[in-house]
Amino acid sequence: MYDYKNNEAIEKVLIDSETIENRVKEIARDIDRDFADKRLVMVGILKGSFIFFGDLVRNLTIPAEIEFMKVSSYGSGTVSFGEIKVSLDIGREDLSECDLLVVEDIIDSGKTLSKLVPHLAKRARSVKTCTLLDKPERREVDFSTDYCGFTIPDEFVVGYGLDYDEKYRTLPDVCILSPKVYL
């Protein structure tokens, strides 16, 4: 177990690594079952999903292809749809025979996925979504994810890929950040 005693930025562990590992295996079994007859392309949304994505794909037993995207609701990007900017797109043009599973670390306001999914649905045979964490209290647009690891309260969480100001992504557990850090 990671030692947080000397890390004043971390208030407490919300979901420990063993619990995450077990849930990731369950989700992988669901994906194995649901995509058995499909052409699965896993699409990781950078950067927050990178650890979840890696763990999830390693637990799949069906064949899967891998792509990445980087999107943000601000800043500069090459393609823009709605309020979302795409700074790294899927690295192939033709997705017409692909069944995409978009993998996110967290769904918060829902803006990112609610804009991204219709955009990808125009290009692919099908699009589903998988998020490790869901914060329903923060939702601003109506969107629900097809696969979800954990529903969490409205706390600022870091670790297992999630950051605050680019820090804490490498922590093994999902942790609540101390308000001292951001207030």
| Nearest one of 165, 160, 178 to 16, comparing CA atoms | 160
Q: Give me the residue whose beta carbon is nearest to ligand PRP.
A: 48
Give the count of beta carbons closer than 10 Å to the beta carbon of residue 76.
Answer: 8
CB 148, min distance to ligand PRP, A: 13
Active site residue 30: no
Query: From the CA atom positions of the chain, what is the Rg in Å?
Result: 16
Pick the catalytic residue from 55, 99, 105, 108.
108
Residue 4 or 156 with smaller CB distance to ligand PRP = 156
Nearer to ligand PRP, 36 or 82 (CB): 82
Q: Which is nearer to ligand PRP, 38 or 127 (CB)?
A: 127
Q: Which residues bind ligand PRP (CB under 6 A)?
A: 45-48, 72-73, 104-112, 163
Query: What are the start-end ranges of the E strands in the chain?
Result: 10-15, 40-46, 65-72, 79-81, 84-88, 95-107, 124-134, 147-151, 157-158, 174-177
Q: Which two tokens stand for residue 60?
A: 């799949």
Least gap, CB of 106 to ligand PRP (angstroms)? 5
* Residues catalogued as catalytic: 108
